Amino acid sequence: MHDDRTLVEARLRRVLDERIRPAVYPESVPLEAAVWHAPGEPVPVAEGLAAEPEPIEVGARWGAPWGTSWFRVTGTVPEAWAGRTVEALLDLGFDENMPGFQCEGLVYRPDGTPVKGLNPRNQWVRIGAPVAGGEEVRLHIEAASNPVILDYHPFRPTWLGDKDTAGQEPQYTLTRMDLAVFDQSVWQLVLDLEVLGELMAELPVDSARRHDILRAVERALDAVDLQDVNGTADRARERLAGVLSAPAVPSAHRISAVGHAHIDSAWLWPLRETVRKVARTTSNMTALIEDEPEFVFAMSQAQQWAWVKEHRPEVWARVKKAVAEGRFVPAGGMWVESDTNMPGSEAMARQFVHGKRFFLDEFGIENEEAWLPDTFGFAAGLPQIIKAAGSKWLLTQKISWSQTNTFPHHTFHWEGIDGTRIFTHFPPVDTYNCSMKGSEIAHAARNFKDKGRARHSLAPTGWGDGGGGTTREMVAKAARLRDLEGSATVVWETPRAFFEKAEAEYPEPPVWVGELYLELHRATLTSQAKTKQGNRRSEHLLREAELWAATAAVRAGFPYPYEELDRIWKTVLLHQFHDILPGSSIAWVHREARATYERVAAELTALIEGAQRALAGEGTTPLVFNAAPHPRHGVPAGGAATPAEAGATTLASREDGGFTLDNGLLRITVDARGLVVSAYDRDADREAVAPGRAANLLQLHPDFPNMWDAWDVDSFYRNTVTDLTDAESVTAGEDGTSVRIVRGFGSSRVTQRLSLPPGERRLLIDTEVDWHETEKFLKLAFPLDLHAERYASETQFGHVFRPTHTNTSWEAAKFEACNHRFVHLEEPGWGVAVVNDSTYGHDVTRTVRTDGDRGTTTSVRVSLLRAPRFPDPETDQGVHRFRHALVLGASVADAVREGWRINLPERHTTGARDVAPLVTVDDDAVVLTAVKLADDGSGDVIARFHEAHGARARATLTAGFDLADVTVTDLLERPLPDAPAPGVDGERIDVRLRPFELMTLRLRRRGDGR
């Protein structure tokens, strides 16, 4: 038999494109269109509906960047169309290849009822099925002219990312405003042929099934009269019925399709536009649920649900109805799909507290899965946080983006730093925007790495990033793939249904221990430094506000600010979204974030000061409030007292123009270049700086990654480096005990202050950078005389170890990594910590010296600033201030303590009395991360703590009040019935903790009325 396969396949493509798809709408008439352009920010729906529009013709330009235009379309259904299905086709100027990244609209009826969203893959609105003929049509479209930021030539700098710089040039051309007849038979034929054609392309060329499909397609095409497609579509479909009804083989891979619309809470659009994106998408999905009885849609991010409830109550009513039917599913149980590397311990916990509580309060639904398809890697402390929130599963897809190594599993147990294991799934479809293409379904089946042991995977299905969701075409394709020979099987299911099946069939999956490091997007640990600094500062201010407000409530009747703290926490959690905190959003987003963090800081500072005044009383006694979890200078952790004297520091000039700082514990030598050439630990008789090297060394690299400018730093950046050793001045500080260094380079300027506090084993480095470079990467280097094969980085509720070597490609890929407050390296008996107040990115490398002592130099470099030009062309331009400390002779315990200390400086005030802590712990290894009042308003005290050193701990907590009873709870402050009860003796509570174990206690006060 002659091989005409390619001939038939080419025929299928052309006939589909040029004859069959156009015949879906065989007749149309134009609608009349008029438009009103809102003068500024989006207006309320009632105002948009009431506005008087001006006529606009198809072909006219409309829509300044970030504008809102209200279109009114009117017309009459022709009498001749009676009995037929009619739809409005509303094309605002869409590019079908860019759903979610351009203009969008939400269609309303004249009474303000939302109908559905418009986007490039969803341009229709059903008028009637069937129509009677003669109906008057009147629709309103709230159209957002969001500019295209990520264009066909991606990563080019653009000023469109902020309304203040975007200009007024119209962005779009009105393309189509019609009423049209919708031919259901032709539409179904299109889907038949698409599914079979896509499946055929994935089957082996020599397979019988492929050729069976080929011949059936050929017969169908023969049955189509190209001059009468609408009249012959049913005949063509009949010739496809046989191959479409052939069942899948019993061993076929099984896919749980979950309707999905990954909506970035901010990215290439501002937060206010996400509010509208969510409304459009949820309108579409509730409409699709009504039309498709098997379809199930899942939406994560409680914040986005809250936006619908607040801003679109009509849509919210439809959402609640669909939730009650089990068809519209709250997923994930987090406030937003946050970054998980940089949020601190409590913040990561509160993502689940506020997310899960929202779904419980609104729907009575307990989420058991974490849903983070697009997050840029996962910190090793996350598994126990998920479990402590009452959840047990995790879904993500992003690890498939890793550039160097292919992750070996799709379904597995992920073990965190404390030993907690979470059942985890990576969808092998390798996208969180699956569209039910045959290539996607076939890839999922081929790619699934757990064949032979499991056969289930999940496919999040729908247009995402900018929203849009699942389309009727995707649902129709899934129906054909439910049980089709040659394909994986597809069934719509909830995330819970998938995980229950997957866990049941794979009871002993492989285990992955430690962080899930994404070998990509490493620069998100550094980009937009002020956003990161605002997050870090807000986290610690929230700790202080809760601690002092709770203490003042118990001791002085201070009104605990429940509502204010709840609102501020949600604001901070929102800004931990995985394109805000990582610094990968447009300029508008980060400009607003900076302003938001300033407001948060002012409000929290006022709360803190009010509580401290209530505690200290009126008086003139000098007091220091210590919010850190460890005592310092005689001031207890979580209390206030007059600090003890701490000795003195001397500053001496050197002949070379440098200085020596000495406090009796450490001696720091600074040369005439302002570099630390010696950091000597007197007690240990040990030099920290590697021979011939200098610390406090600023290094500048070129930084122009191959893609994803704000997200990525590629390894080749290290090939070129400039050491910034020239100093304009190195002088004594005004206080007479510090060194001031000024440097200029490029268009930028750095001012540093080096100080050695009395009685402390840390060199403080305050750095101010007036940064005006572009496409550069600034590092602060500490080359240390240490032989260490691994180092510790703080993460949520503990620390993670990473190797200093690059034995394998897995280790080499971690050339930029995340830490919270500290990085720690040690040889047995002596170590060094580098602590920080607001930076996250760093690298650690090691070399062996080839001369002299042939020892090992291990270098820690802190990442300070970058200067990518996309998506924000002025990323990080301006003045930045950082604080770091080099801690000598440091154990992990010292690193933990100093990390807290640098982030929670003492607050000096005057008052009448000392303040005893509300809760104390007798073991420094047990760190209180939160002391607060219970969220339920009961007045109970909540104490959350963890073992921080990586060893077993037995500690005693003491309540600073009359204690009635103690309950072990989850993160949501609910009793854990299976948890061992701690020993209680009066106000003393004995606890035992595994390494890095997290525990939450509810402490009921005696005499609180219960």
Measure the CA–CA gap between 13 and 19, rounded to whole angstroms.
Answer: 10
**Angle formed at CA 194 by CA 188 and CA 200, multiple of 5 degrees:** 135
> What is the distance between the alpha carbons of residues 330 and 142, in angstroms, rounded to a whole number?
27
Phi, psi of 379 (to 5 degrees): -70, 150
Q: Would you say 673 and 725 are in contact if contact means Cβ atoms under 8 Å apart?
A: yes
What is the gyration radius of the CA atoms in the chain, in angstroms? 31
Res 1008: pLDDT: 62
Q: Is the pTM of this model over 0.75?
A: yes
Angle between helices 529-556 and 562-574 (to 10 degrees): 160
Q: Tell me: the pLDDT tens digits for 779-811?
A: 999 999 999 999 999 999 999 999 999 999 999
Distance between CA atoms of residues 538 and 897, nearest Å: 19
Strand order across the 776-784 sheet: 722-724, 697-702, 776-784, 856-866, 841-848, 817-818
Task: State the angle between helix axes of 562-574 and 302-311 in degrees (0 to 180), rounded to the nearest 10.
Answer: 110
At 406 the pLDDT is 97
Dihedral sign (CA 264, 268, 271, 274): negative
Catalytic residues: 374
Query: HEC string of 161-219?
Result: CCCCCCCCCCCEECCEEEEEECCHHHHHHHHHHHHHHHHHHHCCCCCHHHHHHHHHHHH
Main-chain phi, psi angles of 193, to 5 degrees: -70, -35
Q: Which residues of the chain have pLDDT under 50?
A: 1009-1010
**Calpha distance 273→271 (Å, rounded):** 5
3-class secondary structure, 1004: strand
Q: 844 is written with which tokens?
A: 């650690």
Q: How many helices (H) and strands (E) does the chain have?
A: 19, 53
Question: What is the reported pLDDT for 1010?
Answer: 46
Containing 88, the helix (H) or strand (E) segment is strand 86-91
Looking at this protein, which amino acid is placed at residue 965? D
HEC sequence for 282-306: HHHHHHHHHHCCCCCEEECCHHHHH
